[in-house]
Amino acid sequence: MMSASRCMVKRDGRMIEIDAKELVFGDVVLLESGQKVPADLRLFKTNGLEIDESLLTGESEAVSKNLVEPLPAETALGDRKNMAFTGSLITKGRASGLVVAAGSNTILGSIASSISTGEDSRPPLLIRMERFTKKIAIILLMVTALMALFLFYKGQGGHEVMMFSVAIAVSAIPEGLPVALTVALAIASRRMAKRNVIIRKLPAVEALGSCSFIATDKTGTLTVNQLTIKKIALPDSVELDVQSSGLSPKGKVLFSNSDELEGQKILAQDLVGAGVLCNESRLVRKDDGEWHGQGDAVDLALLVLAHKFGLDPEQHRMENRLLSQIPYEPELQYAASLHMGTDKLTLSFKGSVEKILPMCKQAASAKGTVPLFDEAIVEQADQLAESGYRVIAIATGQNANEHQSLNEQLHGLCFLGLVAMIDPLREEATGAIESCQQAGIDVAMITGDHPKTAYAIAKELKLTDSLDRVVTGPMLKAMPPSIDKEQL
C-alpha cells in the first residue's frame, strides 16, 4: 500500500508514482482499498468501489460508487456516485478516475476556504463591552469639555485646565472592570470544567449563556456513529427488539412471551448463525476491555448480535469451514458463502430484500418451513425503512452442494428473516435536547440522510412532529439570503 501522500498516475501512457501535491487537471489516478483520494476525481472505471465520505457528509456508512450518466450540477454531494472527493477513504474495491480539481479547488478545499475567510462572530460580552466603552468615552469627553470651559470662564490658566482635565479623564476610567470580568469568567470556566466542558477562550463562557440556537451534526454527535441492529423480523411477522448500541455486545434480545417462544429462539439463532458465516469482518476485545472491529459496518453489527445471543463468532466459523464464497459487491447487492460443518454443508445468504426474496422458495417458521409470502415481507421491510432503519434479508440454502458453484445455487432458498439496523442515538442526546428546549434554545439537526430517515430520527429526538419542517440542501440553497428562522 502506498503512503497517504503518494498515488499512482497514468501519464503519457506510462504508470508513475508521484506526490499527491503534483497532481494536475487531466491526470488519470488509480485508486485502491485503504488509500485516501488525493484529488476530486471523475470516475470512469470501478470495481466494487466503496468510499467513506464521512469527512464531507458526516455519514458513517461507506458509499458505493459506480459509473452513471453525468449528473446535474445541483446534485447533493452524497448522491454523486460517479465522483471521488479529496480526503475521503477507500474502504473497498478499486477504481480509476480523471482529476477534475486539486488543492484549494476541490470540495474539501472550498470548505476550508469558507471557514478561514468567514467572519468571526463576537461574543455578546465583547459587544456590550464595546458599547459600554463608547458611552463612557463620549460622556467623559463631554464632562471634561464642560469642566474645561468652566475653568476658563473662571480665569484659570491653560496649563491648570489641561492638568485638571487629564486628571478627571484618568480617574473616571474603570480600571478595575477588566480584572473583575476576568476573575468572574475564570470562575465560570472552572465550574464548566467540572461539568466536562473545556473553555479555550474566556468570553465563550458568557456566550454560552446567551445562546439561543444550536445547529448540531447527527452522525457521531447525536448518534454513536456505529450501525447497530435494533430489530429482528422473523418470517411469521414476529419482531424482536435488541437492546444496547455500538460495538459492545452488552444487552440482549427481547423475546415475546408466547407458546412458540422456543421456536422463535431457534429461528433467531439460525438467522444469527447465517449472518456470522456470511461475514468477512472481525470483532475483537482488546486488553483495555474495549471492543474493536475490522471490516464492513453491517458485518460488524451482525457479529455484535451474535455475541448478544451467546454465540462466539470465531468458534462458530472454526466449526464451519469455509469452502467458497461470493463477496458482497454493490452491483450484486448480496453475498453468499458455503461452509462445511461437522456433519453437514451450510449455505448462507445476506443482502437487500429485493435481491434475496426472488431467490427464496420457502420461509422458516416455528412449525417448520412454510410457503413464502413475498408481499407481507416487502411491506414489513418498507415499514422498517420508513422508521429510519437499514434493512437486510438473510436466507439459507436447503440443498447445499459442494460440487456446484455458488452461482448455480442461487435459487430455492429458505428465507430466515429481516435484520433492521440503525446508527442509534446516544443515550444522553434526548435529555440534552430537552434541556435546551426548556431553556428556550432552538435545536436543528444537520445530516446528509434521506429526508424521511432524518425525519424519523428528529421525531424520536422530539425536534419536530411534521415532515414539512425537514429542509433539504436544494431547498436551503433556493431560500433568500435573509429569512426568518420561524419560517423554516
pLDDT digits (tens, 9 = 90+) for 307-365: 998 899 999 999 999 999 988 877 788 999 999 988 888 899 999 898 999 999 999 88
Same fold, 6-117 and 215-222+426-487: no
- Give the residue, 122 or 49, on which the prediction is more confident: 49
Q: Is 217 a catalytic residue?
A: yes
Please tell me which residue in 12, 27, 40, 217 is annotated as part of the active site.
Answer: 217
- Answer yes or no: are the C-beta atoms of 102 and 25 closer than 8 Å: yes
Residue 450 pLDDT grade (very low, low, confident, very high; cuts 50, 70, 90): low
Q: What is the DSSP letter of 123?
A: P
Least confident among 3-7, 316-320, 372-376: 3-7
Task: Give percent of the chain above pLDDT 90.
Answer: 18
Give residue 485's pLDDT: 45
Residue 394 pLDDT grade (very low, low, confident, very high; cuts 50, 70, 90): very high
- Of residues 458, 422, 463, 460, the one with CA closest to residue 443: 463
Report the pLDDT averaged over residues 468-487: 68
Task: Provide the Cα torsion 47, 52, 55, 59; round to 10°.
Answer: 130
pLDDT digits (tens, 9 = 90+) for 192-241: 888 888 888 888 887 777 788 898 888 778 887 778 899 999 887 788 88
Q: Across 12-21, 93-102, 445-454, which has the greatest mean pLDDT?
A: 93-102
Residue 459 pLDDT grade (very low, low, confident, very high; cuts 50, 70, 90): confident
Domain ranges of the chain: 6-117, 124-213, 215-222+426-487, 228-422
Q: What CATH class has 215-222+426-487? A: alpha beta
228-422 homologous superfamily: Calcium-transporting ATPase, cytoplasmic domain N (3.40.1110.10)
The Cα–Cα gap between 318 and 266 comes to 21
Give residue 351's pLDDT: 92
Report the chain's mean pLDDT, rounded to a whole number.
83
Give residue 253's pLDDT: 84
pLDDT digits (tens, 9 = 90+) for 95-153: 999 999 988 888 888 888 777 665 666 777 778 888 888 888 888 888 888 888 888 88
Cα angle 391-395-396, degrees, rounded to a multiple of 5: 160
The answer, yes or no, to whether residue 185 has pLDDT greater than 70, is: yes
Give residue 336's pLDDT: 93
**pTM above threshold 0.75:** no
Q: For the beta carbon of residue 384, count every other beta carbon within 10 angstroms.
A: 22
The three cell numbers locating residue 340? 462445511
The answer, yes or no, to whether residue 366 has pLDDT greater than 80, is: no
The answer, yes or no, to whether residue 433 has pLDDT greater than 80, is: yes
Give residue 286's pLDDT: 80
Report the pLDDT averaged over residues 421-450: 85
Task: Provide the Cα torsion 463, 467, 469, 474; round to 10°.
Answer: 120
Q: What is the CATH number of domain 6-117?
A: 2.70.150.10
